[in-house]
Amino acid sequence: MKKLLFLCSFIVLLPLALSACGADASSSQNQPITLRYAIWNQLQVPAMKQMAAAFEKTHPNITINVELTPFAQYFTKLQTAATGGSAPDVFWMNGPNFVTYASNGILMPFDDQITSKNVNLSDYPSSLVSLYTYNGKHYALPKDFDTIGLWYNKALFDAAGVKYPDATWDWNTLTQTAKKLTNPAKGVWGIAAPMVDQEGFYNTIPQNGGYVLSPDKKASGFADPASVEGLQFWTNLIQDKSSPTLAQMTDTPALSLFESGKVAMMYGGSWDALEFQQNDYTKNKVDVAVMPKGKTRATVIHGQGIAVYANTKYPTQAMEFADYLGSQAAADILGQTGTVIPAYNGTQTAWIKAYPQFHLQYFLDELAYAVPYPTSKNTPAWQDVQNKVLTQVWQGQLTPAAGGKEIATQMNQILSKEQ
Amino acid sequence: MDIAEKRKLTASSQKKSGKLRGIARKDLFWGYLMIAPLMLGLLIFYIWPVFQTFYFSFTSWGPFGNYQWTGLVNYQHLLSDPTLGQALRNTFIFTVLSVAGSMVVSLFVATLLNRKIRGLVVYRTIYFLPTVTMPAAIAIVWQWLYNGDYGLINYFLSLFSLHGPRWLTDPNIALYSITLIAIWGSIGNNMILFLAGLQSIPSVYYEAASLDGAGPAHKFFRVTLPLLSPTIFFVTVTSLISAFQVFDLIYLLFGTSDVVINSTQTVVYLFYKSAFVDNDKGYAAGIAMFLFVIILIVTIIQLQLQKRWVHYA
Amino acid sequence: MPKSLEITVQATRRSKLLGSVLTHAILIIGGIVFIVPFMWMILTSFKSLSESMLVPPVIFPAILHWSNYASALTTLPFVQFYENTVLMTIGRTVGQLVFCSLAAYAFARIEFPGRNLLFLLTLSVLMIPSYVFLLPQYMIMKNLGWLNSVQALIVPGLFSSFGTFLLRQYFMSLPLELDEAAKIDGANHLQIYWHVILPLVKPALIALAIFTILWSWNDLMWPLVVNSSSDKMTLSVGLATLQGEYFTNFPVLMAGAVLATWPMLLMFICLQRYFVEGIALTGSKG
């Protein structure tokens, strides 16, 4: 009898309890809330506001505040806010900082969104997806990407009677052409060979079959002979006097030299298209080609990601907004601005159309052999070592082999501390 | 005896008896009352964080908090860190040269601009300009002036068949190049302080000196300098303190490249790098404490020495 | 007049003229060094992007690109930035003038137990890099619920060791007889402070005002960290957002800098007239 009574009351009360839960969920869905969305690129503010407006239309109870912070201070501020427990709900992330944030539980994983089909990873280039994967989980949605190309000054090539770079070029062709284009009397060099990673040796190292960081992020690849040759590619150019010295390029950045017609070629990112378009010297004088082939083809790929704060007060809504930001609709809006290449597959044509005089398609072609930007838990620590040692290598104080070995030793120590 | 002498006697006898009465108690009350708002604010927002930093220098931090006590590890690291030794050397050279240079030039300029000469406002404004110019603009201009290949200074020298050095990319010179920028940038501030100090020297003294037949040099060294000494003391102490902490200049001009960083990085630059780039806030706290002790010692020495050369009225 | 006196007068006039010429010569030559970067900032604000990137550098723009100023004004909500910056600056300056002068008076002219220790404690704050205070002050603002507000911009800046030290030095340069005289008349310390001492240290107060105004106007890190939405941003943060990750439009940045700087110049021109020669100190009564 007692059991029956208990069972009856349970059956009666259960739906009540369930409906109460349901009522809570739906009423909290409709309470007006504000989400904070942090970005750092002032040029993209109109596009972000447009996306926010579009999202607010379909979610009338949500207001989006777009917060702009200058890039140089963005991560200092984000770190301070996260340490204090009040980071923005949705924010931009980049490669060098990603693992730090993901491994410390600051980012909310997207995997439920993937399983519930709100997000489909095959919509983005796989190299970007792996850039934002940590321990098998996905902590940011790719928003845009950039690859590296060989920008060149058509006027200087014409004056020297040399054919423009094309897909047949390999390292040798580049080195020879750089020599031909160097004209000390006029103060012109064939190419700029600065000590930079993303636009420089992070490409030539894999092009030669080397690697910067092992896939398991436990070992440095700098001591590998193939990697060392990837570094030597640049120091050879300086030794040939086809490139200014490091001291000269520190005084005057490669970009300034290129925009003044002092160097005929420079490796640069897809992001340079915007600046070269706005600069009336380069607007009609420069173009881009794919990077010359080493032993194989490779480009480093990097791009910003959309991340959600793990401790946000509104996880459901923040995730919804993030999903939207990673969607095709948002990518189309982004592409219209011409400021970056959207990551969503198939939305890149708007960007190419924004700069008709440049052969920007090459940047997209390079996706086929893209290598993710190398990152680990403490990227800044070993990148600092990398930069200090390579500065000496570029200045001829260390051979590339000795430098590579030194970097690998210190980098491995740093990586082992991360485990 | 008059009232003042009587009061002094009573006060001293009261102090001897060990009780605070009358004047002394009133002084205590007013003293603490008047410093209260400032000290309260400083305590909450500045002094407490200094104690916190001291505590954190004995801990090890993750990038987002999560610190644990590690004892003297940071200090051991400090003492064996070669970059810190270098940074200390760079900081000392920079501090001594920039403060000395700045004091001399600012005092000179302030003296010149303390008289009613024509165009006074224009001159004062011009010398004040570096102080209002945006740091990014200052960096860009000096990079252009100092540029080894296309810079104005080397172009100027080439007119005299002199080959100018690489001001900002030669490790032996870079530190001195920015010392010059620092002196240049500080003239405006120090000029204001000296002007204010020169203002508070009663003209009575100058008139008396003139009557005694003193020339301008004599007036400067016998009247101006002694009466300006509280201001000079202030400018010296604060200039030294802030020169020891130079960061922005180094970061703006050398932050993106390592070509001369070894010979130009300063202690606060290392602190910033440790705190925000290497994410080692415990070590950064240790560096801050280390610098604090050095500056404190230098300042205390100055506070002791002031009895010898600073004339308070 | 006698010949010898005439000669002396002429000699004095000549040496005064020489002194004057020399003075102006030095000031002008020095002035050139000081004005160059500022002129560069203005000239660059009128250049085209390509002109600003050329090496060897271009000094004068081919034509005046006023569009840079239009760009700066439309890209950023300048009016809002001005408002917030002005509020922050006035708040901090008034606060410091009041709090620091009260404390400086006490430190300089009242003997009370613990005075030297407290003053040393005040000074010690100056010996710590300012980045140390970023996180603790952020946490205080967060706990007060003041993140992203105008009061967060003002409050920590109301208290200054530098200001206290500065004023204390000037206070100490005034003769103690002034206080004694007032005390005999029955004044308490607050009245002495207000009626006797404060009017005599105008130059020092103006100096502190100039410093605090400048420091507040150009303060970057604190407003950047504590405030997030654009309606609570200040000028310096707004300018910094013009410096992109890969691309900075330097002429527009310089235009923004000029727009942000002219109030400071105006401020200085107005305030520096208080640095007028010759304060007749009628202090000692006999």
Cβ–Cβ under 8 Å, residues A163 and A154: no
Ranking B42-56, B266-280, B282-296, C12-26 by mean pLDDT, the lowest is: C12-26
Cβ within 8 Å, pair A76-C245: no
Question: Best mutation site among A42, A143, A302 for testing chain C: the one with the most C CBs within 10 Å?
Answer: A42
Q: A106 contacts in B (CB within 8 Å)?
A: 64
Q: Which among C121, C159, C207 has the least Cβ separation from residue B41?
A: C159
Confidence of residue B8 (pLDDT cuts 50, 70, 90): low
**C241 inside 8 A of chain A by CB:** yes
| ipTM score assigned to the predicted complex | 0.87
Average pLDDT value for residue range B107-119: 87
**B307 inside 8 A of chain C by CB:** no
Domains A32-145+303-354 and A148-301+378-418 alike in fold: yes
**C145 inside 8 A of chain A by CB:** no
Distance CA B171, CA A281 (A): 34
Q: Are strands A189-191 and A263-269 parallel, antiparallel or unpaired?
A: parallel
Distance CA B252, CA B172 (A): 19
Average pLDDT value for residue range B236-244: 94
Query: Of the CATH numbers 3.40.1190.20, 1.10.1060.10, 3.40.50.1860, 3.40.190.10, which one belongs to the domain with range A32-145+303-354?
Result: 3.40.190.10
Cβ–Cβ under 8 Å, residues C31 and B126: yes
User: Rg of chain B over CA atoms, in angstroms?
Assistant: 25
**H-type helices in B147-224, by residue range?**
152-158, 174-199, 203-211, 216-219
Higher pLDDT, C100 or C272: C100
Dihedral angle, C-alpha B72, B73, B76, B78, nearest 10 °: -110
pLDDT at C180: 84
Cβ within 8 Å, pair A271-C55: no
What CATH superfamily is the domain B73-309? MetI-like (1.10.3720.10)
| Interior angle at CA B110, CA B104 and CA B114, nearest 5 | 150
On the question of pLDDT at C283 being above 50, the answer is no
Average pLDDT value for residue range B191-215: 84
* Bond preceding residue C56 cis, omega within 30 of 0: yes
On the question of pLDDT at B295 being above 50, the answer is yes
Please state, for a pLDDT cut of 70, what percent of chain B lies above it.
93
pLDDT at B160: 92
On the question of pLDDT at B196 being above 60, the answer is yes
Q: C243 contacts in A (CB within 8 Å)?
A: 70-72
Domain locations in chain C as residue ranges? 3-65, 76-241
pLDDT tens per residue, range A105-145: 999 999 999 999 899 999 999 999 999 999 999 999 999 99
Query: Of the CATH numbers 3.40.50.2300, 3.40.190.10, 3.10.129.10, 2.40.50.140, which one belongs to the domain with range A148-301+378-418?
Result: 3.40.190.10
pLDDT at C284: 31
Write out the CATH class of domain C76-241.
Answer: mainly alpha
Residues 6+ apart with CB under 8 A from A281: A259, A260, A261, C50, C53, C54
- Token pair for residue A284? 């009609």
Domain locations in chain B as residue ranges? 3-56, 73-309
Tell me the shortest Cα–Cα distance from C241 to chain A, in angstroms. Answer: 4
Q: Which among C50, C225, C249 has the least Cβ separation from residue A77?
A: C225
Ranking B275-289, C13-27, C201-215 by mean pLDDT, the lowest is: C13-27
Distance CA B96, CA A181 (A): 48
Ranking A6-20, A333-347, B106-120, C76-90 by mean pLDDT, the lowest is: A6-20
Q: C200 contacts in B (CB within 8 Å)?
A: 200
Q: Using CB atoms and an 8 Å cut-off, which of residues 251-270 of chain C contact chain A?
A: none
pLDDT at A82: 95
pLDDT at A23: 43
- Token pair for residue B197? 């100090």
Confidence of residue B90 (pLDDT cuts 50, 70, 90): very high
pLDDT at A227: 97
Query: Mean of the per-residue pLDDT values for chain C?
Result: 88
Question: Which residues of chain A are modeled with pLDDT < 70?
Answer: 1-29
Cβ within 8 Å, pair C240-A73: yes
Domain locations in chain A as residue ranges? 32-145+303-354, 148-301+378-418
pLDDT at C65: 96
On the question of pLDDT at B142 being above 50, the answer is yes
Tell me the shortest Cα–Cα distance from A225 to chain C, in angstroms. Answer: 32
Cβ within 8 Å, pair C31-B196: no
pLDDT tens per residue, range C201-238: 888 899 899 999 999 999 999 999 999 988 999 999 99
Tell me the shortest Cα–Cα distance from A389 to chain B, in angstroms. Answer: 9
pLDDT at A233: 97
CA atoms lying within 13 Å on the CB side of residue A178: 29
Distance CA B217, CA B309 (A): 19
Distance CA B238, CA B99 (A): 10
CA A265 vs. chain centroid, Å, equals: 23
